[in-house]
Amino acid sequence: MEQSPQIGDRITNTSAPPDDKTVRDWLGPKAFKHWADLQSWIATYYPGVFAPDWLYGGKKRGWSLRYKKTKAFCTLLPEYRRLSVLVVLGGAEREKFEERRYVWRPQLVKLYDEAKTYPDGKWLTVEISSPDDRHDVTELLTMKRPPRSGG
């Protein structure tokens, strides 16, 4: 790389999808714990449902790890020293979100209100920097698709 990575930069090496060590080194220990905890949560509550798939989005977007069955569930975005999660809320999910508007944390409602709405839904990119942020994402995902089992 020509210059030192900046916070939020994506993994852009095109030779192969990143392995766990690469992701851990890129995210740093704190963000990697959130990464591992989210993957573990998905595996526990949605056993055998998703086969995570690495996608390369070009030089600007880099690598991301998508969880999808027939519809996208979420996409983990490993950024330099930061983890973000993309959750797309379709029409039905937006209605559910609005019904619970006053239950969500204010930061999440603000993010929701400011998110752009595309034909396939509202795209929320949630930065995960605390257990509360991770909880917001797991609540969104549970609302989007009820878990198979309560592990």
CATH number (domain holding residue 69): 3.90.1150
In a domain, 73, yes or no: yes
Mean pLDDT of each 10-residue bin along the chain, 151 residues long = 79 90 96 97 95 93 94 95 96 95 96 94 96 97 84 48
- Domain range for 105: 20-144
CA distance 151 to 149: 6
In a domain, 151, yes or no: no
Domain count, the chain: 1
In a domain, 86, yes or no: yes
**Structure pTM?**
0.92
In a domain, 6, yes or no: no
pLDDT value of residue 18: 95
In a domain, 48, yes or no: yes
In a domain, 58, yes or no: yes
